[in-house]
Structure 1
Amino acid sequence: MKVIFASMAMAASTIAIPVHAADKAPELGHWMVAISVADMDAETAFYVDKLGFKVELDTTFGPGIPVRWLVSGNERIELLKIKDSQPAPAKPAPPGHAAVQGFSQITFSTTDIEATKAALAAKGLTPALDITEVAPLGVKVMYYTDPEGNAVEIAQKVGG
């Protein structure tokens, strides 16, 4: 019996055991954030006029659902206007918005948060939460809200 077991163990050690796809985490990258909106034009104006996005595509999906893609560098926002969609419950201003479960904000990065704040102020935007250092995360952040109350965080890495 010992010989059979030893032979099976040796044979097993020479067989390559494939790594199954389920055993390995997929490599994912950021593609976009989709926002269901009540007013496509007001949301577009905010992201284009205030944050510098450009309209990349206007189309429809499925049964006539208007879709607009906005882009800025590698960032993409998909605005969807779905007939009879329901507004989300009102969220508190940042940082209280994160007390409501689900996605809490869209976050953009900047290399100079003070200059970004000044540029946005020149476009008439006032932060919902002014520049705040979050030392444990190594970032400074500030928040704005879009016309429909969605939180928009702008973050700058600090230190090394």
Structure 2
Amino acid sequence: MNWTLEVVPVPVTDMDRAKAFYADGVGFRVDLDSEVAPGVRIIQLTPPGSRCSIVLLQGMPPAPGTRQTAPGALHGLQLCVTDIEAARAELTGRGVDASPVRHLGATGWADGKGQTWNSFLTFEDPDGNGWVVQEAPSELAER
């Protein structure tokens, strides 16, 4: 049996602002924006080339055995790209405040690209949810 990660809830305060940020700023595709029950709105967005989506929820009660996360409390979600510099240019060109490209060096974080798997940038959504973008070898994208 396969266990696939398909949807990650991202807690936000303003659904329309978050939708605009992820669609227009980050370039995610809007798959769904619907009021599925009275007072319950779901917006699902998917990064280009990904099977895993994010979902923005309003009015949805937590599933049994879970709890809601406060807006801005989600950190460490990671996207992978094959060209980190092009990804940064795309993000900043769309108005996203993305960090410079950095790599992990002998004494901590250093500016610029590193070796394979060692080039990163970060950004936050308007609520402060934090994202990491990592450059992955291009041959992995072809799988």
Asked whether the two chains share a fold, i.e. TM above 0.5, the reply is: yes
Looking at structure 2, the residues matched to 119 and 76 of structure 1 have their Cα atoms a distance apart, in angstroms, of 20
CA-atom RMSD in angstroms? 3.1
SS in 1 for 2:121: strand
Aligned-residue identity in percent: 30
Higher relative contact order (CA 8 A, sep 6+): 2
* 1:133 aligned residue (85, 103, 108): 103
More helix by share: 1
Aligned residues of 1:36 and 1:82 also touching (Cα < 8 A): no
- How many residues get paired? 122
- Structure 2 unaligned spans of 5+: 61-67, 106-114
More strand by share: 2
* 1:88 aligned residue (57, 67, 70): 70
Looking at structure 2, the residues matched to 118 and 50 of structure 1 have their Cα atoms a distance apart, in angstroms, of 12
What is the aligned partner in structure 1 of residue 34 from structure 2? 59
- Structure 1 unaligned spans of 5+: 1-25, 92-102
Where do 1:1-160 residues align within 5 Å?
Answer: 27-61=2-36, 64-72=39-47, 73=49, 74-82=51-59, 88=70, 103-127=74-98, 129-134=99-104, 138-157=117-136
Looking at structure 2, the residues matched to 123 and 89 of structure 1 have their Cα atoms a distance apart, in angstroms, of 23
Looking at structure 1, the residues matched to 125 and 71 of structure 2 have their Cα atoms a distance apart, in angstroms, of 15
Aligned residues of 2:41 and 2:57 also touching (Cα < 8 A): yes
Looking at structure 1, the residues matched to 102 and 58 of structure 2 have their Cα atoms a distance apart, in angstroms, of 33
**Larger Rg computed on CA atoms:** 1
Kindly report structure 1 stretches of 4+ aligned residues shifted beyond 6 Å.
Answer: none
Cα deviation for residue 81 of structure 1 reads 1.6
